[in-house]
A and B are shown apart, each in its own frame.
Chain A
Amino acid sequence: MKKKKFLTLGLAALAVSSFIITNTFAKTMADGMPSASFSVNDNVSDYYFKSRIYQGTYHWNVTPTPAAIGRSSTSTNTINKLAGGATSSYGLYAAKYINGSRGFDIYINYQAIDSLVSGRSLTDRDKAYESVIVHELGHALSLADLGFLDTRSSIMSEYIKRYNLWTPQQYDINDVNAFY
């Protein structure tokens, strides 16, 4: 009889604990950051790239959302300049765990973007880089890519020419506000 009671109590404790743990940690299991306030590592020697990182974070920070993206030379959330290697992607967002916490690495493919803006103005080049950085930071803010052919105006759209749209749009702002 005592054993049965002990087993029942144990199972009840397990159920309650599982419920508490699941709900407490659910948000951090998403691919984005658990909070809209985080920093990125801008410790790069290329001044042009550093300026684009600054602009990319600025474009998010001025939106009416909880997004507050700081820049620091010690953050383990890295934004990297990719020069070489064979990938057709403009940008990559890699969600990771580092020292037990959710983090990310962003890779910006210089060759692919420079090829896209070849023959276009320097302003278009700036916008294209910022657009890819803002898009990848959108993933850090838990936004998913928009489906191909989804015509809503969004920085998370895939088929846009990157120099035509480089700031978060209302759709993106709404989603960030809904998530955080």
Chain B
Amino acid sequence: MKNGKLKKVILSVITFTLLTGGFMTYKNFNKPNVVTSIQANYLMPDTLNDLIANSNYVVIGEVLNKGNTFKVNMANYVVDSNNKPADRAALYVKHTVSNISITQSLKGDLKKGNIIEVMQEEFDNIKHDKSLSKKVYSKGDKYIFFLNKFTPKSELEIKDYKTVKYLPINPYQGEIQITGDKIDIIKEEFPMFKNGDAVQDVVTQIQESLK
């Protein structure tokens, strides 16, 4: 390649690099403060005793309707902070609320026939452990639920959540699906059970653990 041509190539590369770099920098500076990914740290019990101990309610129930969804900005619940709110990016949790009819209560003061609102949580852009599943309830699904009660107290909570809700212990272990008379699980999520265990056997184990 002649010197003149080589100069042209080099000049083209340099010009293009500078232009692209400049454009990327300009684009980045004009980006809104936005969350690009989320890592959530949950309590993940690996024994039946811990699973039950950390759930105030253990019930069997049937999903009456496919839930409706709404979003809440968790950044609104920050307290005691003197940093500028503008420095925090909005952090939305998407909730799905389903009505569940209780068919058997194993722990807690809920009774057969009670209808409760179970609220699932999901973050946009969350990085899930690949071995774990994330389910959304469908009408007619039957589950053994491991729940905690959430009562809105502050003005903001009442505005966001309105009424009492029940939250699964975490997005992975909050419920065990029942298919026929057997449980349907991913082994990695419930090491204390085997996929295909009889529901009655699981119930007996839970009752034994509660004694």
Contact = CB atoms under 8 A, between A and B. Distances in A.
A94 B35 contact: yes
A96 B169 contact: no
B206 to A, nearest CB: 19
Nearest to B161: A86
Given A21-B24, A98-B33, A98-B87, A92 B74 contact: yes
Q: Give the size range of B's interface with the partner.
A: 35 or more
B13 A88 contact: no
Name the residue in A12, A13, A25, A46 with the highest tally of chain B Cβ atoms < 10 Å from its Cβ: A13
B191 A85 contact: no
A89 B33 contact: no
Interface in B13-64: 13, 16-17, 20-21, 24-25, 28-31, 33-46, 54
B82 A45 contact: yes
Interface string B85-124: 0011101010100000000000000000000000101010
A44 B91 contact: no
Given A86-B165, A97-B33, A14 B16 contact: yes
Contacts of A26: none
B93 to A, nearest CB: 6
B55 to A, nearest CB: 11
Contacts of B17: 16-17, 20-21
A127 B75 CA distance: 25
Contacts of A147: 129-131, 188
Contacts of A10: 12
* Chain A to chain B: the 9 pairs with minimum beta-carbon distance, closest first: A100-B28, A85-B77, A159-B44, A100-B29, A46-B80, A89-B40, A43-B82, A13-B12, A93-B39
10 contacts: A12-B9, A78-B81, A83-B79, A85-B157, A87-B40, A88-B121, A92-B74, A94-B37, A95-B35, A100-B31
Interface of B: 8-9, 12-13, 16-17, 20-21, 24-25, 28-31, 33-46, 54, 72, 74-83, 87-89, 91, 93, 95, 119, 121, 123, 127, 129-132, 148, 150, 153-154, 156-157, 160-161, 165, 167-172, 174, 188-189, 191
Given A17-B13, A112-B43, A148-B188, 13 more contacts: A16-B17, A84-B156, A86-B150, A86-B161, A89-B40, A92-B41, A92-B91, A93-B40, A96-B34, A100-B30, A107-B78, A149-B46, A158-B44
